[in-house]
Structure 1
Amino acid sequence: MSRYEQASHVFWRCQYHIVWTPKYRFKILKNNIGKDVFRFIHIYSEKLGVKVVELNVQVDHIHLVAKVPPKLSISKVMGCLKGRLALKLFSKYPHLRKNKAWGGRFWQRGYFVDTVGVNEEIIRRYVRHQDKMEKQEERRQLNLLG
C-alpha cells in the first residue's frame, strides 16, 4: 500500500496532528459522551473525505492524526468537525446546553495543528541541493539520447 493518496491530478500525503478541547477544558469527554465523540469524528471525517489515522479522546481534549485532501483547508475541516460535533452533542445530551458557562458553545475557540511528514532536515537538504540534482538528471537524459 502506498503512503500517498491519489486524486485525478494529484498524488498527496497531507497528514496533520490536531488537538482541541471543550470550553474551559471541562473534563466532559468521558463515558458515553467520549464514546459518541469518537464515533462521530469517524463519521463526519469520512463524509468530508478525511481519513482518520489515529484518534484519542481524553476527558478534556482530543488528539487526531488525519490525512486531509489538499482541496480542504484545516480551518474548514475543524469548523465542520467542531460545529457538527457540538450540535450533535447538544441535541443528544440536552443537559450540556443548560450549563450557562458554555454560552452556547461546546468547544474552545481555537485548536492546535502541526504537520506530520518527512523530516525537516531531509526537506532542507533536498531544497539546498535541488539544482545539482536537476543538472545530474539533465546530463543523464542527454547521455540516453546521444
Structure 2
Amino acid sequence: ILEGSVGKDHIHLLISCPPSLAPSKIMQYLKGKSSRLLQDQFHDLKKKYWGQHLWARGYFCATVGSVDEETIRNYIANQFSEEKNESFRIED
C-alpha cells in the first residue's frame, strides 16, 4: 500500500503489485485479511459479522496509465481535507 485514505463509506488505496496478479485476487486477499484482523482485534465486530461479510462485495479498480501516479496520490490525499499529515489516515 503506497497511499491510502479511509472515509465513512469507502476506502481509497494506491497499491503496487506485479501485473501477473489479477485485481480480483488482490481485492479478495485485502478484504479477507483485513476482515480477519479487524474481527480479531474488535470482538464486537466478530459477534456482529459472524458468518457474514464485513466488506461490501463490490470494488472499483483502475491502473496508473492515463494519469500519473502523483495525480492519484494527490487525489487520495485530498479526499477529506486540504492538509496531508500522513500517507495513510482515517477520517471521521
Cα displacement (A) at 1:115: 1.9
Cα RMSD of the aligned pairs, angstroms, is 1.9
**Larger RCO of the pair (alpha carbons < 8 Å, separation 6+):** 2
1:113 matched to 2:39? The reply is no
SS of the equivalent of 2:15 reads: strand
Percent identical pairs in the alignment equals 43
Distance 1:81 1:62 in 2: 12
Cα displacement (A) at 1:99: 2.4
Q: Which runs of 5+ in 1 are unaligned?
A: 1-51, 120-146
Greater fraction helix: 1
Give 1:81's match in structure 2, choosing from 22, 30, 33: 30
Greater fraction strand: 1
Name the amino acid aligned to 1:53.
L
What is the match of residue 60 of structure 1? 9
SS of the equivalent of 1:63 reads: strand
TM-score when scaled to structure 2? Answer: 0.62
What is the match of residue 33 of structure 1? none
TM-score when scaled to structure 1? Answer: 0.41
What is the match of residue 42 of structure 2? 93
Name the amino acid aligned to 2:54.
F
State the 4+ residue runs in structure 1 displaced beyond 4 angstroms.
none
Rg larger for: 1
What is the match of residue 48 of structure 1? none
Distance 1:58 1:118 in 2: 25
Distance 1:56 1:104 in 2: 25
Cα displacement (A) at 1:103: 5.2
